[in-house]
Structure 1
Amino acid sequence: MNSTQRTAVVTGATSDRGIGKAVATRFARDGWGVVVLDLDAGKAKAVAADLSREHGVPSLGHAVDVADEASVDAALQAVRTAVGHDDLPAVGAVANIAGITSPVPFLETTRQLWDQVMAVNATGTYLVTKAFLPDMMDNGWGRIVNMSSVSAQRGGGVFGKVPYSSAKAAILGFTKALARELEDSGVTINAVAPGAVDTNIRVGSTAESEAAITGGIPLGRTATTEEIAAVVSFLASEDASYLTGGTIDINGGSHLH
C-alpha cells in the first residue's frame, strides 16, 4: 500500500512514548497518508511534519478533543478539505487510540472522574468513528481499529481500575455491535486489547508494582508500543479483510481465555 491510495486517521498520536504515535509512525512507514489528531494542535502538526519528512507521505496535524462533538466535527472538516484540495488521499482507516486511565480505587472515585474516563475512552471512540465512517462507507472500503485493554477482559488487575475497565469494556461491545451493522459495506471494525505496555500512561506506578505486573506475564516483559502498532497495522490492511467484530489480545500470555 502506498501513500497515493489511502489515509489513516490516528487519535492520541503525539506522546513520545505513546501507542498513538507508534501507530501513526507505522502507518507512515507502510506508505499511508496520516492524519495526526490530538489535544495540542502544535504537537499534532509537528508530529505530522516529522512523518512527512521521514517517510515521504502526505500528512495533516489537527487539534481534537475526542470527547467533544464539535471538536471532532471540526477535525473531520479539516480532513475533508485536505483530501479535496491537498495531496492527502481519501481516509481508509481510523485508529481510535486516544485514552486516559485512572488507578483510583472504586470508593475513592468521583462522578467527575468516572465521566472523564468514560468520555475520552468510550464516547471519544463513538464520536470519531461516527464522524469518519460515512466517507469510508461511501468509498466502499475502510478499517476501524479501536483501543480496548486486557483490563476490560479481566476486570482490571493491571493498572486502571473500575472506570477504565468499564470504558474499555464498552469499546468491546461497541465494536461487536457496529460490526454487525456494517455488514457488507466494505468497512471492518476490530479492537485490540493490550496488556501492560511500556508507555507513560501508568502514572503513579512504582518499581514494586511494575515488577508485580511483569511477574504475571509469561513472556516476562511488557509490550513495546511498536508491537501494538504492528497489530493495528495488520487490522488496517487488505490482508485483514475477513476480520471484523473481533478482539486481538496482545498481552504476552497474561490473560488466556
Structure 2
Amino acid sequence: MIDTDLSGRVVLVTGSARGVGRELLLAAAERGASVAVHYNTSDEAAREVAEAATERGAHDVTTVGADVTDPDAVDDLFEAVEDDLGTVDVLVNNVGNFAPVHWEEMDTDQWHGIFATNVHSTYLCSRRALPAMREGEYGRIVNIGYASSEKGLISPKNAPYFMAKAAVLMFTRMLAGDTQDDGITVNAVSPYVVENSAEFPDELPRGRPAAFEDLIQAVMFFLDDDSDYVSGENIEVDGGWLPEDV
C-alpha cells in the first residue's frame, strides 16, 4: 500500500458525495488531509461523507455544493473552501456524467451534458486552482479519465463519453507541460469498470471490476511527494482490458 502523507494539505475532490469520489476523499482523510466534500444536489450524502471523513482522521472538513460546469459556481466553490480550509493543494477532478445511449438516439442536451460535466468541469476547476498553486509553488491535479479512450476506441453506444474523456487526457498532458516549472504535477487515472458501476460486461479482466482501493492506490502514487517528477501521465486501472473487448 502506498503510504502517502497528506498532512497539512487541503484536498478537494469534485463529486465526492458518493461513488469513486467519496472513496478518494475518505482515503485523503485517512492520510491526514483537510478535505472539501463537493456535491451538486446530494447534500445529505455529502454530510454523511463529512462525518465519515472526520472519523477517519481528517484534519478538518467542509462541505460545499456547486454546479462545476458553471464558472461563477466554481469561483464560489473555491472561495468557500479557501475560507474554511485554506487554498487547495490537491484537486481531483472526478465529476463526469455517463450515458449509455447510442449517439444517434441521444438528444442535444444529453450530448452537451456529457462534455460539460467531464471536460468543462475539469477545465474550470483546474483554471481556478492554478493561481494559488503557482503562488505556493506546489500543487497536485489528478483527472479521472476512462480506460483506452486515448487510443481512439469509440463505441457508438458510448461515443460522447469516450470523446470527452479523450479530451480530458489531452488537457492533462497540455496542463502538465504548462505547469512544469511551477511545482505542480498534473496526471490522470483511467478505470474501466469499477465496483459501483451500474452495468457489468459478461466478462471482466481478472474476473472482477476494479475495486475502489485499486483506484485509490493509483491516485495516491501521483499525490506522493516521491512522485513529484511524474507529470502528464495516465495510469489505466483496467486489469489489462483489451480494446477489442468492446
1:193 matches 2:190: yes
| Number of aligned residue pairs | 237
Aligned position for 2:10: 7
Contact 1:150–1:156 (CA under 8 A) maintained in structure 2? no
Contact 1:151–1:160 (CA under 8 A) maintained in structure 2? no
CA shift in 2, pair 1:170/1:24, >3 Å: same
* Deviation sequence 1:80-129 (CA, Å, 0-9, x none): 111xxxxx354211000111101111211221111000000110111111
1:231 matches 2:218: yes
Range that drifts further, 110-119 or 56-65: 56-65
Aligned position for 2:145: 148
TM-score, L = length of structure 2:
0.90
1:27 matches 2:28: yes
Contact 1:14–1:44 (CA under 8 A) maintained in structure 2? yes
- Offset at residue 249 of structure 1 (A): 1.0
The whole-number CA distance in structure 1 between the counterparts of 2:48 and 2:134 is 30
Q: How does 1:1-257 map to 2 (within 5 A)?
A: 1-3=5-7, 5-15=8-18, 18-40=19-41, 41-82=43-84, 88=85, 90-154=87-151, 155-156=153-154, 161-200=158-197, 202=198, 205=199, 210-214=200-204, 217=205, 219-255=206-242
* Deviation sequence 1:212-252 (CA, Å, 0-9, x none): 241xx2x2211011211221122112021011111111100
Contact 1:151–1:168 (CA under 8 A) maintained in structure 2? no
- The runs of at least 4 consecutive aligned structure 1 residues that moved more than 4 Å come to none
Q: Please tell me the root mean square deviation across aligned C-alpha atoms, in Å.
A: 1.8
The whole-number CA distance in structure 2 between the counterparts of 1:112 and 1:130 is 25
Q: Which runs of 5+ in 1 are unaligned?
A: 83-87
* Deviation sequence 1:154-194 (CA, Å, 0-9, x none): 5245x960010011000011001111111210011001111
Contact 1:76–1:131 (CA under 8 A) maintained in structure 2? yes
The whole-number CA distance in structure 2 between the counterparts of 1:48 and 1:156 is 37
The whole-number CA distance in structure 1 between the counterparts of 2:211 and 2:86 is 29
The whole-number CA distance in structure 2 between the counterparts of 1:2 and 1:151 is 30
Range that drifts further, 111-120 or 52-61: 52-61
TM-score, L = length of structure 1:
0.86
Helix, strand or coil for the counterpart of 2:202? helix
Contact 1:136–1:187 (CA under 8 A) maintained in structure 2? yes
Q: Which amino acid aligns with 2:107?
A: T
